[in-house]
């Protein structure tokens, strides 16, 4: 049997096990995917322990996507982004499939980002991946973050690949009427976290695309408000599925049944 899993803190919200286990079953692969709550101070031991136990791969979620770089070798865009969400073991290679997952979710929703003004809220692992991906595709990216130094650093990094500026979190209302896309890359609204909007209500205007990377619950406070105001919405579950499918290919070298994974993730959220 092959062993895979996801590590994060907290981890109760994750539906990745349902998603990947459904794919294994559908393809007749003798494998299992488990979730593990790992505190930041235990991250190194968890990764090395998993390798010693024979695990083949892991997903990495909040708050470990940047810290994990201390223990693995980043591959491809993960090196540029500075965040990893997929590990290949025993090689200790780190990949970033968040960028692909986010852009695929936007593409399938019919959103063309080129030339658009996109606000990315959050400068953690997901925020970094999405900001880089948007800038590479020709968007004008505006980064905001509660900790200004992290936001400024992300904007500086993203400018190596495209257009990006930082805007203070406490002055977001100044951007009213001047945004095409809003992306929440913070855990605000996630099950187990603070249930509040990540941006001022005045920014949620008809004609704006609102993308919430939070997928549990499916209908976050941000998504609900955006729908009420006639915005096009992009669900976090879609990013989850597409980044998960890409991780699956990295681990096993085969294409997964994406729709099977999506249905399993949705079913887990509803249960």
**DSSP for residue 206:** T
Residues 59, 97: contact at Cβ < 8 Å? Answer: no
Q: Where are the alpha helices (DSSP H) in 14-113?
A: 16-27, 43-52, 77-81, 98-108
Tell me which long-range contacts 80-85 makes (C-beta under 8 A, separation of at least 24). 80/132, 80/160, 80/161, 81/128, 81/129, 81/132, 82/128, 82/157, 83/124, 83/125, 83/126, 83/128, 83/129, 84/60, 84/125, 85/59, 85/60, 85/61, 85/125, 85/129, 85/243, 85/247
Exactly one of 35, 65, 93, 137 is catalytic; name it.
Answer: 65
- Spacing of C-alpha 123 from chain mean position: 12
79 is catalytic: no
Residues 173, 144: contact at Cβ < 8 Å? Answer: no
Residues 174, 146: contact at Cβ < 8 Å? Answer: no
Q: Where are the alpha helices (DSSP H) in 28-141?
A: 43-52, 77-81, 98-108, 125-136
Cα–Cα distance between 118 and 127 in angstroms, integer? 12
Residues 6+ apart with CB under 8 A from 25: none
Return the residue matching tokens 């406070």: 221
Q: Which residues carry out catalysis?
A: 65
């Amino acid at each position: 049997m092959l062993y895979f899993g996801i590590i994060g803190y907290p981890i109760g919200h994750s539906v990745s096990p349902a998603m990947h286990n459904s794919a294994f079953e559908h393809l007749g692969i003798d494998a299992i995917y488990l979730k593990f709550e790992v505190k930041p101070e235990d991250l190194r031991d968890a990764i090395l322990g998993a390798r010693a136990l024979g695990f083949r791969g892991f997903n990495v979620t909040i708050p470990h996507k940047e810290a994990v770089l201390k223990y693995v070798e980043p591959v491809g865009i993960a090196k540029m982004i500075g965040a990893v969400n997929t590990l290949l073991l025993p090689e200790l290679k780190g990949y970033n499939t968040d960028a692909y997952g986010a852009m695929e979710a936007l593409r399938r929703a019919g959103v063309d980002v080129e030339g658009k003004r996109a606000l990315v809220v959050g400068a953690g692992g997901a925020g970094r991946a999405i900001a880089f991906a948007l800038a590479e595709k020709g968007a004008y990216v505006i980064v905001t973050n509660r900790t200004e130094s992290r936001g400024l650093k992300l904007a500086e990094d993203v400018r190596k690949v495209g257009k990006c500026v930082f805007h203070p979190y406490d002055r977001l209302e100044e951007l009213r009427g001047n945004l095409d896309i809003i992306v929440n890359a913070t855990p605000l609204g996630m099950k187990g976290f603070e249930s509040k909007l990540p941006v001022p209500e005045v920014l949620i205007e008809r004609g704006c695309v609102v993308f919430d990377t939070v997928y549990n619950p499916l209908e976050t406070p941000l998504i609900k408000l955006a729908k009420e105001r006639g915005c096009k919405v992009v669900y976090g579950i879609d990013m989850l599925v597409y980044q998960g499918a890409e991780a699956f290919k990295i681990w096993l070298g085969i294409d997964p049944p994406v729709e099977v994974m999506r249905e399993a993730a949705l079913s887990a959220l509803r249960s």
